[in-house]
Amino acid sequence: MRKAILVMGLLCAAVGCQTTSTAGAVAYLLINLSQTAAKTIGVSAPAALYLLTSDGLESSAINLNGELLEANADGTIGELSPATATDGWFELPATSIAFVVDEAGNAAACR
């Protein structure tokens, strides 16, 4: 059995964006490269979760937190509303991408 392959990046969350007003907040980028295995991810609770999934690697449609992303008639996108990871963890499905905003990150470099 092949194990999940996880790629992770960390960056400062922009104070004043729709999900944080806290200096020191961090945003994680998580990519599950496995085509079959989900990965359980631990987070500080509560955390804002933007989970991008699709029906397959060649799909032309993508979902944000289970809802199909579609452009407005003028080509813009609407507000991207996060889900909330309240239990201290979430499941990262195979071949998916997540952005997690952790206001409790308290990173000195992000203040």
Where the chain has pLDDT below 70, the residues are 1-4, 15-21
Q: How far is CA 5 from CA 35, 82, 93, 96, 106, in A?
A: 9, 24, 11, 11, 27
pTM above 0.75, yes or no: yes
Q: What domains are defined for the chain?
A: 6-110 (2.60.40.1180)
CB 40 within 8 A of CB 91: yes
pLDDT digits (tens, 9 = 90+) for 53-82: 998 888 889 999 999 998 889 999 888 889
